Structure 1
Amino acid sequence: MELRHLRYFVAVAEEGSLTVAAERRLHTAQPSLSRQMRDLEYEVGTPLLLRSARGVELTPAGQAFLDHARLALAQAEAAVEAARRAAQPAKATLVLGFLTGQEIDWLPEAMRILRDELPSIEVTVCSQYSPDLAQNLLRGKLDLAFMRPEAQMPDLDYRVIVKEPLMVGLPSDHRLASQDAIALQDLAGETFIGMSNTAPTLRAIIDDHLGSSGLDLRQAHRVDNLAMAMSLIASTRGVALLPEYAKNFLPRAVTSRPLAGEPLTIDLVVGYNKTNASPIVRLFLSRLDQLKKKAPHRDDEIPAAMATTEPKGDRYARPG
């Protein structure tokens, strides 16, 4: 069995079609791909795909094989990345990831800790969805990431740095904006804006909380990023539950209020791959208590971003 068999199988499983996977993902002929899949099934010893005129579906064996195939490919990428880094000149480097928007609060102190210990360290910064950060930690493309604790990632470990309260985002002239805090029951009948699967941890926390409250909020929209959330709050006069760091992005047309009662929170963690033996990673983790003491205390002013650091990554802040 070769890595290409695993790549082909994952592509077919994700596309749900041999033809689409061959043409769009793998740039190969469909008959050749079909032959590769038959060879893989022969080697595994059991059917992995159910073929029909509508495409392909995974058998139970195929679904189990898919999880391990993805992990094997991620580990292979991590091995390549580790080898490439080892071949580079000995220089202190760190690749640091952020859930987009969190770098405003956490990057300055993270950089101070690193530069205090390693003045000449080269730090690369990127911002992504939390699930993407998790995948890049697995592949060895990131050393550390400020993110959400993603489920079913046994090769990753997380250190909680803050429990971030969720708040209500709503139009600035909304009737509830006059209140100091908003009870969940006050949102009954409002157009509710939920989260998409780009923020699975946040979505699960919100959906679970709404379910346990017994409040039937009709989720009219699900958003992929904070810019979209702000736009829909303003344009549909809807409301949303957002993590507190979203205050960094509130336009004039949108305001926020805390939830009344016991706070609903989501963990912000520093995630890392358990197999990453970098001494810089270990050093940074040993300074997390120092980082926690600098946890942001937000007010109505937006903190200034570092003028000399421009993170690479996505254009819009992602919810999460």
Structure 2
Amino acid sequence: MGLDLGFLRVEPRPDVAYQVIAKEPLLAILPSDHPLAQQVQVDPRDLQGEAFIGFTEIPHILREVVEDYLRRNKVHITPSHHIDNFAMGISLVASTRGVALLPAYVEPLLPWSVVSRPLKGEPPTIDLAVGYRPENRSPVLAAFLKGIDQIIAAGPAGDRIRVQA
């Protein structure tokens, strides 16, 4: 018995079909006593000159999203550290006093010494998707995919709807 579907980031693979269900914003993650932590929103240009925590090639989709965002905002940063997971990123923010851009879902994981702030303007987002193999004929998968549009339309209030199988 195999896995019918998974919730994941879109990583181009020829054997997997994706249905994007949400776009998650990235946030500025910084030490709680950092000067930028006093702002309601962080202007991306204020990241210039900061010790910036970037990404290795492992989360390459996230790396591309962040690099594209910085490029569009004409912010030139050379990362002082590179991470391949969010726990490492949070730890480096706390220990090196650097800043990072991470998906909003890390907020509940932040220790007291690290805070998040939204980015000013149009924030970068990363797609959260349902991934599955198109040749999979599972009735469970078919029922889920039949109701996926209802889940997407419900957005953050998705816990208030019921999908009929």
Structure-1-length-normalised TM-score: 0.47
Q: Given the superposition, is the C-alpha separation of residues 270 and 207 from structure 1 closer, same or farther in structure 2, using an over 3 Å criterion?
A: same
Q: Which runs of 5+ in 2 are unaligned?
A: 159-165
Structure 1 position 187 matched with structure 2 position 30? no
Corresponding residue number in structure 2 for 1:230: 90
Equivalent position of 1:295 in the other structure: 156
1:314 corresponds to: none
User: 1:35-92 CA distances to partner (integer Å, 9 max, x unpaired)?
Assistant: xxxxxxxxxxxxxxxxxxxxxxxxxxxxxxxxxxxxxxxxxxxxxxxxxx4xxxxxxx
Match of 2:163 in 1: none
1:273–1:250 distance in 2 versus 1, CA, 3 Å: same
Tell me the distance in 2 between the aligned counterparts of 1:254 and 1:280: 41
CA deviations 1:96-121 (Å, max 9, x no partner) are xxxxxxxxxxxxxxxxxxxxxxxxxx
Task: Provide the residue aligned with 1:150 in structure 2.
Answer: 11
Matches within 5 A, 1:152-231: 153-231=13-91
Contact 2:22 2:155 in 1 (8 A): no
Query: Counterparts of 1:183 and 1:249 in 2: how far apart (Å)?
Result: 23
Match of 2:107 in 1: 247
- What secondary structure does 1:182 align onto? coil
- Return the letter of the residue paired with 2:123: P
Q: Higher relative contact order by CA 8 Å / sep ≥ 6: 1 or 2? A: 2
Aligned counterparts of 2:44 and 2:110: Cα–Cα separation in 1: 21
Aligned to 1:42: none
The alpha-carbon deviation at position 290 of structure 1 amounts to: 3.8
Where structure 1 has 5 or more consecutive residues not aligned to the other structure, the ranges are 1-84, 86-140, 298-320
C-alpha deviation, 1:252, in angstroms: 0.7
Equivalents in 2 of 1:296, 1:197: separation in Å?
34
Q: Deviations over 1:220-273 (max 9, x none)?
A: 111121111111001110000101111121111110000001121111000101
1:27-66 matches, within 5 Å, as: none
1:296–1:165 Cα change, 3 Å: farther
SS at match of 1:207: helix
The Cα offsets for residues 276-310 of structure 1, whole Å up to 9 and x where unpaired, read as 1111001111222343325279xxxxxxxxxxxxx
- Cα distance change, pair 209–294 in 1 and its aligned pair in 2 (3 A): closer
* Identity in percent: 48
If you compute each CA radius of gyration, which structure gives the higher value, 1 or 2? 1
Report the Cα distance in structure 2 between the residues aligned to 1:162 and 1:190, rounded to whole angstroms: 30
Give aligned pairs, total.
Answer: 157
Amino acid at match of 2:7: F
1:280 equivalent in alignment to 2:140? yes
Within the alignment, does 1:265 sit opposite 2:132 as a pair? Answer: no
Distance 2:68 2:120 in 1: 17
TM-score (normalised: structure 2) = 0.88
